[in-house]
Amino acid sequence: MTQPSQHTATGEATRAALIDEATAATGILPPHDRLVDLAAQLRTELRDLIPVVQARADGMNRGTTDWYSCDRALAGARETLEGDLGVGLRSAALHVASLGRFLGVLDAYR
């Protein structure tokens, strides 16, 4: 079993594809079922990545610009994870895009 901190080329490609699809979700809206599936995949990736990025933030000099940026990204990701898709297709697409955006930001800190 691969640990969250062990990244493979396939895992990184999958993560990049998820981020790309989430970003595009607010253009031509995908079917609701696809948004539900995409949100679940993004949530899994975020939950795996948050502890890795938190450990990195814990090793940064507290109060620096880098630490603050990382801390804000972690807080935003956690807040977004608490939300849901909402009742409409547009709200679901926007939420998926937000999950994807935070996945991309956190992935850069990994």
What is the band of 9 on the pLDDT scale with cuts at 50, 70, 90? low
pLDDT of 100 higher than 50: yes
Token couple for 36: 């539900």
Distance CA 78, CA 102 (A): 9
pLDDT of 5 higher than 80: no
**Residues above pLDDT 90, as percent of the chain:** 80
Which of 21, 26, 40, 43 shows the shortest CA–CA distance to 94? Answer: 26
Q: What is the pTM of this model?
A: 0.85
Beta carbons within 8 Å of 28's beta carbon, 6+ residues apart:
none
Helix H or strand E encompassing 27: none
The chain-wide mean pLDDT, for the chain, equals 90
User: How far is residue 67 CA from its own chain's centroid?
Assistant: 18
The ranges assigned to domains in the chain are 9-109
pLDDT of residue 26: 85
Helix H or strand E encompassing 48: helix 32-58
